[in-house]
Structure 1
Amino acid sequence: MNRSMMDLWVGCFVALGGAALLFLALQVSNFSGSRISETYVLQAKFDNIGGLKVRGPVKSAGVVVGRISDIRFDAESYEAVVTMQIDGRYRFPKDTFAAIFTAGLLGEQYVGLDAGGSEKMLQGGDKIAKTQSAVVLEKLISQFLFSKAADGQDKK
């Protein structure tokens, strides 16, 4: 194999590696090449959003139905306000329940929508009234430890 043929193979290998790195970077950043054509905005207030991030998924029945477009702090109610862009193909009842879940044990957090039974549908700009905040593992562990410590002192 001569030198120019070897250089060609090395160049192809480097280009393939670069393309693979670009693909992985796009997958990790939640970038999707296809844009949702028509969306409507919903908002929900949570006491604690945990590690929820902008561009995170909004799912219903395990299907991505939208993306989180904004997260801000409401200084009057001391709650986090999450704004979601929902695909226009999907409509949800007024009594829909929004909760923050974690995908797997250490996975990303997302907003899950559980449809209610109301005949009236949410419109663009509406607020979801029923929400459940993220479960913070550190808080659960500390509550468990403090309750065990209190039980130990009661027995003395």
Structure 2
Amino acid sequence: MQHTSTQDTLVGLFVAAGIAGLFFLALKVSNLSSLTEKDSYTLIARFENSGGLKVKSPVSAAGVKIGQVSSISLDTKTYESVVKMSINSQYNAIPNDTTASVFTAGLLGEQYVSLEPGGSEEFLKNNEAIEITQSAIILEKAIGQFLFKSAEEKK
């Protein structure tokens, strides 16, 4: 069977399309697919333990992604995790009594910040802090407490 230049060109195009598809899949998985910077503002939340939360983890309200985590640092005075979140500017009416919690998507999925809006008529502004927070539940710690309590009950 002879190879023609048309066959070689088609195989080359097929391989190039496959490589381009893998490249876009890698961007999507690594949360780098949004290369354009949207208008946003920053909110800050302090957690006793932010668990496995990472930069670029989603921030959601009512199950809708409204932003992402922009930085995580440790306050060396209070030993709390300081989480800065970049919130899309179209969601600029978040009440100032909103609660922030760290949840896990599924049993072993990625962690994200969930915002539960309060009933206040005043809204959070750029660089303001969310006062009410709930830290991540560490699965190993919860299992350890369960085992410790069940061992005490048997005594």
Shorter-chain TM-score category?
A: over 0.9
Query: Equivalent residue for 1:61?
Result: 62
The separation in 1 between residues aligned to 2:2 and 2:24, in whole angstroms, is 32
The separation in 2 between residues aligned to 1:102 and 1:35, in whole angstroms, is 27
User: Any gaps of 5 or more consecutive residues in structure 1?
Assistant: none
Q: After superposing the two structures, state which structure 1 stretch, 73-82 or 35-44, moved more.
A: 35-44
Normalised TM-score (structure 2):
0.92
Normalised TM-score (structure 1):
0.92
RMSD: 1.4
> Aligned partner of 2:154: which letter?
G
Query: Equivalent residue for 2:108?
Result: 106
Deviating above 6 A after TM superposition, structure 1's stretches of 4 or more consecutive aligned residues are: none
Query: Equivalent residue for 1:96?
Result: 98
Per-residue deviation, 1:98: 0.3
Correspondence 1:1-156 to 2 at 5 A: 2-3=2-3, 4-33=5-34, 35-90=36-91, 91-153=93-155
CA contact (8 A) 1:36 1:87 kept: no
3-state DSSP of counterpart to 1:85: strand
CA gap of 1:120–1:93, structure 2 versus 1, over 3 A, is: same
Q: Aligned residues, how many?
A: 153
3-state DSSP of counterpart to 1:81: strand
Per-residue deviation, 1:36: 4.8
The separation in 1 between residues aligned to 2:14 and 2:62, in whole angstroms, is 41
CA contact (8 A) 1:57 1:110 kept: yes
The separation in 1 between residues aligned to 2:34 and 2:154, in whole angstroms, is 57
The separation in 2 between residues aligned to 1:38 and 1:102, in whole angstroms, is 27
Deviations 1:93-116 (A, max 9, x none): 110000011112222111000100
The separation in 2 between residues aligned to 1:54 and 1:27, in whole angstroms, is 15
